[in-house]
Structure 1
Amino acid sequence: MEDGTLLLVVGALLAGGIVVSQLGDRLRVPGLVLVLGLGMALGSDGLGLIHFDDYGLARTVGIIALALILFEGGLAAGLPEIRPVLRPALALALVGTTLTAVLAGLAASWLLDLSLLEGMLLGSILAATDGAAIFAILRGSTLRRRVARTLEGEAGLNDPVAVLLVIGFGSWITTPGYGPADMAVSFVVELGVGAVAGLAIGALGAALLRHVPLTTPGLYPVASMALGAIAFGAGDALHGSGFLSIYLAGLVLGGTQLAQLEAMATFHDGLAWVAQLVMFLVLGLLVFPGDLPGVGVQGTVLALLAAVVARPLATVVATTGSGFALREQAVLGWAGLRGAVPVVLATFPVLAGVPRSEEFFAIAFFAVLVSTVLQGTTFEALARRLGVTTGQAALPERPAAPVAPPVPVASRA
């Protein structure tokens, strides 16, 4: 494909993604789900306009996109906003995600006649919530501020936990001698190293941006992008969680008093939207719709069990003692939207050579579609019915950065 043609195709795909995502907002359907549908329609098993079956490239695109989305989520929130709800957010991310994975895994093992480890692997894939979908819903919601901030914090902290669970159970299946002790050590080390790297690099980068002025305002978004890339890369290179590292770096930078913070946040908001659209389109292209009817019943039942049973039960356990009323816990439980993240995670076992992994991919994709449409279209209505909404936006707009008054020009004598 010639360079001009390639740019034309990329531009057309992004424009199509924007159109269908806006259409989704009008139809009260999560717009990014329609972007997935657009990718499926254009792929080999749809109109056949684009042939794509590269799981490795899809995983790479997904990892980069998720990193950009998590950095933007942290930058938009800021550590001072998340700190008051850090305890329940961490509990949901650690305890809630793990318990959801176990309950969904037991259901998958029974429903699909899988081994216990295979069921846990599939349950871990489905336990991941999607930061992009949750951030999008919260920014158009009137949910109570503390509940919304808890969900926002969990959305950023949940992905690293789900990634480690998927990699751990995949290694347990494919690597002789690998066991629960190895998985537990890896879990602690990766989260610990990722947390230290993210906080340290975020603090150092924020200090440099605060004390070392750049020659032009246009360099500040570039500097913040470099900070995010360094945080993810350093966390990963040190055998930690790059996802946790980049999210925490974003949180630290977002809580820093910088006149250029608004410009950086706006830049990364646009960059995150590009990442979301590209990721959802690529994952849609990777799916062959003809494979879905064969797993439709199992995927639907598994999605319902994960959304209606596993996630709500895990939420109650994780948030007990955190000061949430039962109706707030119900909303937190129903807000575990699945999206592109479980689909990206479903590529991991395929590339690791786990038996039946392509079947897991189709099941996970179908379950994600059912879960996202069901929960995404009813979340706000449920919150209103339970009285967990207010008359104000759940996540207020960041105040504009102060503009310095013009310096008067001395008049000539």
Structure 2
Amino acid sequence: MAAAETAGLAPVMAFALVGALGVGSQWLAWRLRMPSIVLMLLAGLLFGPVLGILDPAGQFGDMLGPMIAIAVAIILFEGGLTLNFHTLRDAATGVKRLVVLGAPLGWFASALTLHYVAGLSWAASAVFGGIMIVTGPTVIAPLLRQAKLQKRPAALLQWEAIVNDPVGALAAVLAFQVVIVLETASSAGAAAQDLTIGISVATLLGIAGGWGIARAFRLAYVPEYMKVPVLFVVLLSVFALSDSVLHESGLLAVTIMGIWVANARLPSYTELRRFKEHATVLLVSGVFILLAASMSWTALGSLDVTALLFVLAVILIARPLPVLAALSFSDVPWRERLLVAFTGPRGVVLVAVAGLFGERLVEIGIADADRIAPLAFALVAATVVLHGFTLTPMARLLGLTASSTTGVIILGGSRWSVALAEALQKMGLQVIIADPNHAHLRGARDAGIDTFFGDILSKAAEERINLVAFEKLICATDNDAYNTLVATDLAPEFGRDNVFQVKRVREASSRHALPATLGGRVIGGGKTYFEANALISQGWEFRVTGLSEEFTLDQWREKHPEAIIIAELGKGGTLRLLETGMDPKKTEDVELLSLMPAKPKRRES
């Protein structure tokens, strides 16, 4: 209570501040297009050791440890949910090598670096080295979207991060179990017995929890509205039961449970994925703020030259060598090997798990384990900032960028779509037209536009279209229901503000009106598919016009009163598709893409 009074915040207010700082940092990072973890680090340190407003140990007391432990358990369960063995079997050889060979080699190299460079004991090095396998899928995704890498190197980095997320946590959990049993057991025999029992119970509970959830959901024993609450309660129960048998074995149990559920092929997996995404945003930000605010000036002061050498050794040796060794004698080109080897940003999971295990190791007598959290913060901050600024230029230097401009996917191969794609290409943008009808793509192929024949929602589309290289989606087929389905399904992938569709034919009818949660934003001046293509048949065309101080938007409107504005392109190549009725944000130094009647041909004298 005294600590809380000193800090000046009641526990409830402190809890609210943690949430506001975490989510606020992630939102601000999205607005500024920078890694959220950097802002969360700064926010936690500012309100914690710098200003002294947040004192997690004093304000939450004995509940701080269980709060972080449960949050980490849910984060690891989310990591397990991403590990689908079917997807892994379909992955490229390079991805399998990075997981099967790269992860153990990375663990070994990280442990050696921690021991010989950072000076940690073998116990602390083994546990922290396992955590360092994780490269952070929440950090990799925005970096890949920003860099616009080619499909294969992007897939290598993305899938390595996704798969190694639970693998690294699992390695750390196993190493921690070995250390804690060896430190607390009275003999080697007792240590082996306790470890065997703990891991066996954790494995059985994880499998039982996953199997029970899958069976209950598949046989409709649980109604839809209760599936997420039931999943959450079972997750906490599995964690608590396993933890009561062997300390921290609950983390292993929930990771296994997540892997089981991910491979159960449940029809409700979409709802479970949404739960894990929402839970991850909240818990990851909360845990990171709490851990950053808990840092003391003593811990921060330990980040000396040794810590700098450790970070450099990880970036230049412990990360590249295992990756290059794992990818050697494979079909992965050497340029892609270099890019993957020198790209390994760590994320929030590493800090969260490292902070938790560091405290637990200190409690059982591993004194130098108190340096794990500061080293984790240093490694995450350095790698995120470094790769955030170097990934794009390195990819360009190696010739591995798919495109340096905004990409647009157009669904439907009509004359309107082809004309729009040609105009976008003239503006220097990357465009691809997809259509499930092969005959509809003839015009696009004749115009030299990239095409995809098939369903945009199919697995074949995921394999052939590098979605990371595209930021906008325009659904413009002659099937309004299909346009709405695709726009709704891919909205989380692109962002709802970047998904558009032509106006539905029966949109004005109350019998056919859809809620705002379905479909994309209307583009094309409120014209339906048939009306838009009729304009093209009547001779309308897409034109690009530059606006400036001498030729303003008002002057352009006076000259072209019938024109329909489709998009605006800023100086930096930033494309903004305009919903029907919207005006450009800027009226100078932009290029307008519009649909207007064709210029009348001059008569020959």
Match among 157, 169, 174 for residue 159 of structure 1: 169
CA distance in 2, matches of 1:251, 1:170: 25
Deviation at 1:286, TM superposition (A): 1.1
The residue type paired with residue 87 of structure 2 is E
State the match for 1:316 in structure 2: 324
Q: Give the SS at the match of 1:141.
A: helix
State the match for 1:288 in structure 2: 296
State the match for 1:137 in structure 2: 140
State the match for 2:35 in structure 1: 30
Deviation at 1:303, TM superposition (A): 1.2
1:237 to 1:342, Cα distance in 2 relative to 1, 3 A: same
CA distance in 2, matches of 1:36, 1:272: 17
Match among 98, 101, 104 for residue 107 of structure 2: 98
Deviation at 1:154, TM superposition (A): 0.9
Deviation at 1:72, TM superposition (A): 2.4
Deviation at 1:152, TM superposition (A): 0.7
| Residues 129 and 338 in structure 1, CA contact (< 8 A), matched pair in contact too | no
Structure with more strand by fraction: 2
Q: Give the SS at the match of 1:32.
A: helix
Quick check: 1:121 aligned with 2:133? no
Deviation at 1:265, TM superposition (A): 1.7
Q: TM-score, normalised by structure 1?
A: 0.76
1:187 to 1:388, Cα distance in 2 relative to 1, 3 A: farther
State the match for 2:215 in structure 1: 207
Structure with more helix by fraction: 1
Deviation at 1:222, TM superposition (A): 1.2
1:272 to 1:79, Cα distance in 2 relative to 1, 3 A: same
Map 1:155-194; keep pairs closer than 5 Å.
155-166=165-176, 168-169=178-179, 194=202
| Residues 296 and 366 in structure 1, CA contact (< 8 A), matched pair in contact too | no
| Residues 91 and 319 in structure 1, CA contact (< 8 A), matched pair in contact too | no
Quick check: 1:67 aligned with 2:95? no
CA distance in 2, matches of 1:149, 1:269: 17
Deviation at 1:351, TM superposition (A): 1.8
1:139 to 1:211, Cα distance in 2 relative to 1, 3 A: farther
| Residues 106 and 120 in structure 1, CA contact (< 8 A), matched pair in contact too | no
Moved more, 206-215 or 382-391: 382-391
Quick check: 1:12 aligned with 2:22? no
| Residues 97 and 128 in structure 1, CA contact (< 8 A), matched pair in contact too | no
State the match for 1:263 in structure 2: 271
| Residues 74 and 247 in structure 1, CA contact (< 8 A), matched pair in contact too | yes
Deviations 1:170-190 (A, max 9, x none): 6657877659x968x988876
State the match for 1:223 in structure 2: 230
Quick check: 1:370 aligned with 2:416? no
Moved more, 135-144 or 149-158: 135-144
1:346 to 1:16, Cα distance in 2 relative to 1, 3 A: same
1:247 to 1:193, Cα distance in 2 relative to 1, 3 A: same
Structure 2 runs not aligned, ≥5 long:
146-152, 403-464, 471-485, 491-605
Q: Give the SS at the match of 1:218.
A: helix
1:387 to 1:147, Cα distance in 2 relative to 1, 3 A: farther
CA distance in 1, matches of 2:204, 2:156: 26
| Residues 170 and 354 in structure 1, CA contact (< 8 A), matched pair in contact too | no
CA distance in 2, matches of 1:315, 1:398: 38
| Residues 39 and 281 in structure 1, CA contact (< 8 A), matched pair in contact too | yes
1:238 to 1:222, Cα distance in 2 relative to 1, 3 A: same
Deviation at 1:392, TM superposition (A): 2.1
Deviation at 1:346, TM superposition (A): 2.1
Deviation at 1:337, TM superposition (A): 1.3
1:210 to 1:360, Cα distance in 2 relative to 1, 3 A: closer
| Residues 122 and 364 in structure 1, CA contact (< 8 A), matched pair in contact too | no
**Total equivalences in the alignment:** 391
Deviation at 1:21, TM superposition (A): 2.2
Deviation at 1:245, TM superposition (A): 3.5
State the match for 2:433 in structure 1: none
Identity %, equivalent residues: 20
Deviations 1:42-63 (A, max 9, x none): 12x3111122347975553333
State the match for 2:286 in structure 1: 278
Max radius of gyration: which structure? 2
CA distance in 2, matches of 1:83, 1:252: 16
| Residues 73 and 250 in structure 1, CA contact (< 8 A), matched pair in contact too | yes
CA distance in 2, matches of 1:196, 1:345: 23
CA distance in 2, matches of 1:385, 1:188: 50
| Residues 44 and 292 in structure 2, CA contact (< 8 A), matched pair in contact too | yes
| Residues 106 and 318 in structure 2, CA contact (< 8 A), matched pair in contact too | no
1:96 to 1:223, Cα distance in 2 relative to 1, 3 A: farther
| Residues 194 and 235 in structure 1, CA contact (< 8 A), matched pair in contact too | yes
Deviations 1:370-394 (A, max 9, x none): 3343345544654565455657235
| Residues 354 and 372 in structure 2, CA contact (< 8 A), matched pair in contact too | no
Match among 349, 356, 360 for residue 361 of structure 2: 349
Moved more, 64-73 or 246-255: 246-255
1:80 to 1:363, Cα distance in 2 relative to 1, 3 A: closer
The residue type paired with residue 54 of structure 2 is I
CA distance in 2, matches of 1:279, 1:377: 26
| Residues 40 and 289 in structure 1, CA contact (< 8 A), matched pair in contact too | no
Moved more, 78-87 or 277-286: 78-87
Q: TM-score, normalised by structure 2?
A: 0.54
The residue type paired with residue 159 of structure 1 is A
